[in-house]
Amino acid sequence: MAQPSPLTTISSTYLAEQQKLHKSRRYGVASVMYAPLVSGLIKLSGVQSLADYGAGKCALKHKLDAMGHGSVRYHPYDPVFPEYGSPHPADLVCCIDVLEHIEPHLLDGVLDELASITKSYGLFSIHTGPAKKILSDGRNAHIIQEAPSWWLSRLTARFEILYLQPVRQGFWVLVAPRGSYESALATLDLKRLARTSAKAFPIKQPKRRGILGRIDKWFRR
């Protein structure tokens, strides 16, 4: 097994693998889908700084700037892009579709690092199923595929859970530093956040056929 880097968050061999993957324009851009949710959270919480952990090509910043959040201080971090520098503490820490890519034996170090830079809120999205991409060694690109309960046991050891929302093939969770549950919720309207999430990730109801379909249409009328 490759030895981890000094940051203990990624091994040298896996870093080289990620550098190859990031050469594709379509890799590492999932954060764009979460931009409306992040925008809503910025408005609700009034945060002044944002750390993008696993920022990739900074797609989240470009989208947020276009949505009028250019005044929010943006701190990207990604080991594939050393020019970004080290992880930076921020009011809001976003880690979008990253954790499922972390090497299992280094996950605790990554979660500890996230906890150390989260000043007020953390918004983490986690994919729980397989990815379409396959690594050069034959593994699925989502090298951790676990249920939300597995993730929650690790998150609750480091964070207060404020809100959790299932999404297609995964979930996103809003967290706060340990011991700050009441203060974190004091000025945060979770109902509005839920409505923002519903708009960003609408749940498609399956079409009903036969008698159930006719009953459904009747109730809608």
How far apart (Å, rounded) are the C-alpha atoms in residues 32 and 118? 21
The one-letter code for the residue type at 62 is: H
Q: What is the pLDDT of residue 10?
A: 93
Question: Is residue 39 assigned to a domain?
Answer: yes
In the predicted structure, residue 20 carries a pLDDT above the cut 50: yes
The one-letter code for the residue type at 7 is: L
How far apart (Å, rounded) are the C-alpha atoms in residues 99 and 83? 21
Question: Is residue 5 assigned to a domain?
Answer: no
Question: Is residue 24 assigned to a domain?
Answer: yes
Least confident window among 27-41, 55-69, 142-156, 182-196: 27-41
Q: What is the pLDDT of residue 220?
A: 52
Grouping H, G, I as helix, E, B as strand and the rest as coil, residue 120 is strand
138 phi, psi to nearest 5 deg:
95, -10
Characterize 38-51 residue by residue with b for buried, 16 or more Cβ atoms within 10 angstroms of its Cβ, and e for exposed.
bbbbbebbebebbb
Question: Is residue 1 assigned to a domain?
Answer: no
* CATH number of the domain within which 17 lies: 3.40.50.150
Question: Is residue 49 assigned to a domain?
Answer: yes
Q: What is the pLDDT of residue 113?
A: 97
Question: Is residue 44 assigned to a domain?
Answer: yes
Least confident window among 32-41, 151-160, 208-217: 208-217
Number of structural domains (the chain) is 1
What global pTM score does this model have?
0.87
Q: Pick 162 or 8 by higher pLDDT.
A: 162
Q: Tell me the CA distances in angstroms from 149 to 111, 126, 164, 171, 190, one per residue in order.
A: 16, 12, 11, 11, 22
Q: DSSP characters for 149-214?
A: HHHHHHHTTTEEEEEEEEETTEEEEEEEETT-HHHHHTT--HHHHHHHHHHHSPPPPPPP-HHHHH
pLDDT band, very low/low/confident/very high, at 200 (cuts 50, 70, 90): confident
Do 176 and 159 form a contact (C-beta atoms < 8 A)? Answer: yes
- Say what percent of the chain tops pLDDT 90: 71
Question: Is residue 29 assigned to a domain?
Answer: yes
| Residue 100: count of CB within 10 angstroms of its CB | 22
Q: What is the pLDDT of residue 22?
A: 80
Q: What is the pLDDT of residue 6?
A: 44
Q: 149 is in which domain, residue-wise?
A: 12-220
Question: Is residue 108 assigned to a domain?
Answer: yes
